């Protein structure tokens, strides 16, 4: 197991003892949870993730309202998502390093496209992968993904590490949200008529995952440009 003294971006690679056959759960008209769908890719994902984070480490971004986000963020791909006092936006340059965001590994793209096809969205071409790190207590408030140029492509969201409670709401912030438990290897895909649904994550509970320790890593694939 990973020692607590090791850097939080270092991961051990041993077999998933709890691997189960993938199954699909529908949570909206065009929204699905693909249980365990990412597990066949995990051993390839984690070393590549380490490489990305060496070039673009997690950072706590500030919202236009001056709120420091509890979730650590990074990105890879042609475009990366960022926020500060001037607003939310995609950029080709990492504002921290002054360099282009790390290239999206091909295996990341293949996994996202396979998940999109499984959910009925063909020809998905992601150019941005947002990488979020949740430590215990971190959360994501209800929001819509509206910074992309087109809302036609779906959102593909991958969960790794500690379990999380995903909130999947309606088209208004105060609409009732359903609570969806997400586990290591699960992928949520939503698009079409559901593309602008509000969604978020409740505060992460403390725990220890045998591969990722006391954290949850989330990849969110989007066609942004």
Q: How far is CA 15 from CA 18, 55, 109, 218, in A?
A: 9, 27, 23, 20
Q: Is residue 128 part of a domain?
A: yes
Residue 41, in any domain of the structure? yes
Give a yes or no: residue 12 inside a domain: no
Residue 3 in domain: no
147 within a domain of the structure (yes/no) = yes
Give pTM, 2 decimals: 0.90
pLDDT in tens, 105-164: 999 999 999 999 999 999 999 999 999 999 999 999 999 999 999 999 999 999 999 999
Domain-located, residue 136: yes
* Segment 36-57, tens digit of pLDDT: 999 999 999 999 999 999 999 9
Query: CA–CA separation, 220 vs 104, rounded Å?
Result: 12
Structural domain tally of the chain?
1
What would the mean pLDDT of 96-102 be, rounded to a whole number? 97
Instruction: Determine, yes or no, domain membership for 167.
Output: yes
State the residue range of the domain holding 180: 23-222
CATH number, domain at 35? Answer: 2.60.120.590
Between CA 172 and CA 7 the distance in angstroms is: 40
- Within a domain: 4: no
């Amino acid at each position: 197991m990973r020692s607590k003294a090791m850097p939080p971006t270092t991961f051990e690679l041993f077999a998933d003892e709890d691997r189960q056959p993938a199954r699909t759960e529908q949570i909206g008209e065009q929204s699905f949870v693909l249980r365990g769908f990412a597990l066949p890719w995990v051993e390839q994902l984690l070393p590549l993730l380490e490489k990305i984070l060496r070039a673009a480490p997690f950072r706590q971004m500030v919202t236009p309202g001056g709120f420091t986000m509890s979730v650590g963020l990074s990105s890879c791909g042609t475009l990366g998502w960022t926020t500060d006092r001037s607003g939310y936006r995609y950029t080709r340059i990492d504002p921290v390093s002054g360099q282009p965001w790390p290239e999206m590994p091909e295996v990341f793209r293949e996994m996202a496209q396979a998940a999109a096809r499984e959910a009925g969205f063909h020809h998905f071409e992601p150019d941005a992968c947002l990488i979020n790190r949740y430590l215990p207590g971190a959360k994501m408030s209800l929001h819509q993904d509206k910074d992309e140029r087109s809302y036609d492509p779906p959102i593909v969201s991958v969960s790794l590490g500690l379990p999380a409670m995903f909130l999947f709401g309606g088209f208004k912030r105060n609409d009732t949200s359903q609570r969806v438990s997400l586990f290591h290897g699960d992928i949520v895909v939503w698009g079409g008529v559901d593309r602008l649904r509000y969604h978020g994550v409740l505060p992460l509970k403390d725990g220890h995952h045998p591969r990722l320790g006391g954290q949850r890593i989330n990849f969110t694939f989007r066609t942004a440009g």
